[in-house]
Amino acid sequence: MKKLTTLLAVLVTALCLFLAGCGTSGQAPDQGTKKPAQTQTTQAQKADKTAQAQPSFDLDSIPDFDGHPYVVINDNVPSFAAADRTTQSFEHYSNLDSLGRCGPAYANIGRDLMPTKKRGAIGSVKPSGWHTTKYDNVDGKYLYNRCHLIGYQLTAENANPKNLITGTRYLNVEGMLPFENMVADYVKETNNHVLYRVTPIFSGDNLVANGVEMEGYSVEDQGAGIQFHVFVYNNQPGIVINYKTGTSKAL
């Protein structure tokens, strides 16, 4: 009888341990649910980097185009948040809006983001307001280029619809390219980082941007190497553009 009682006690103890073990393993999914929550927070933080970057000026305050590719804004001082002045590279591109238009593109340019191969074709992308139009008085004939908000040489973004707008040849080559080249040369020479943001500025529900707001700031030397804040006109000398639709005519 004692042996039977002892055996029953052993069986009861084993059963309790088994049930306790099942209860512990059942808590594991609750612990795992923390990871998606952290991922969502990270994605929200990334979205904020572009969502918070709305134009820092009224388009009506920008002088009419007079043949110069850009004008200086805010005494050439960019409006980057202090928390973003980091030595960690990043890049963020806004989702297209309901009209298919690009929003701000924002990056902290470092050598690790730069391309290691030649740029591929981007002809598959048709930005908002796109028209294939030629004029004899335009360099290269074509009025419009698929303009990268953040140039390929900086972040290796190729046919990314969130990073391409309908821009004139003049905007692309005379307006934006000098700033892109300046940033690329600086990063390659110093291995430092440059906060870089380009915000296309649309009036109302126009499909073609009036221009782009460009900001740059070199992080490690607190802007000593690179600092600018400009509005670059999306104009073409000798051509009149309908920014609502993208159609155009020669003067």
**DSSP string computed for 196-213:** EEEEEE--TT-SS-SEEE
Q: How many CB atoms lie within 10 A of CB 156?
A: 16
69-118+125-250 falls under which CATH superfamily? Answer: Extracellular Endonuclease, subunit A (3.40.570.10)
Which pTM was predicted?
Answer: 0.80
- What residues does each domain of the chain span? 69-118+125-250
- Cβ-contact 197, 78 below 8 angstroms: yes
- At position 221, the amino acid (one-letter code) is D
Mean pLDDT is lowest, of 16-20, 111-115, 235-239, for 16-20
Phi-psi region of 204 (alpha: psi -120 to 50; beta: other; left: phi over 0): left
pLDDT per position as a tens digit, 35-74? 333 333 333 344 455 544 566 678 989 999 999 999 999 9
